[in-house]
Amino acid sequence: MTVPPRKAFPLRLDPALYAAIERAAAGDLRSVNAEVECLLREALARRGVKLDAPQPARRGRPPKGDEE
């Protein structure tokens, strides 16, 4: 299963908004990035926008390849 690359982009936020997101992320045991993604998905779902389920991040070491 291959995970498509993630799209990176700069995002400027009001410091108070960032702090609120940071607190929410800590409460949910997520990174700020994961919290923003979750909030965006929830907002889109409320608007009726259908998205595929997010693919989970691959954890651990990559499988051993053929070493020669």
Q: Look at residue 27 and tell me if it is in a domain.
A: yes
Domain that holds residue 23: 15-46
Q: Look at residue 32 and tell me if it is in a domain.
A: yes
Q: Look at residue 58 and tell me if it is in a domain.
A: no
Would the pTM of this model clear 0.85, i.e. be above it? no
Q: Looking at residue 58, what is its pLDDT? A: 73
Q: Look at residue 66 and tell me if it is in a domain.
A: no
Residues of the chain with pLDDT under 70: 1-3, 57, 66-68
Q: Looking at residue 3, what is its pLDDT? A: 64
Q: Look at residue 52 and tell me if it is in a domain.
A: no
| HEC secondary structure over the chain | CCCCCCCCCCCCCCHHHHHHHHHHHHHCCCCHHHHHHHHHHHHHHHCCCCCCCCCCCCCCCCCCCCCC
Question: How many domains, in total, are found in the chain?
Answer: 1
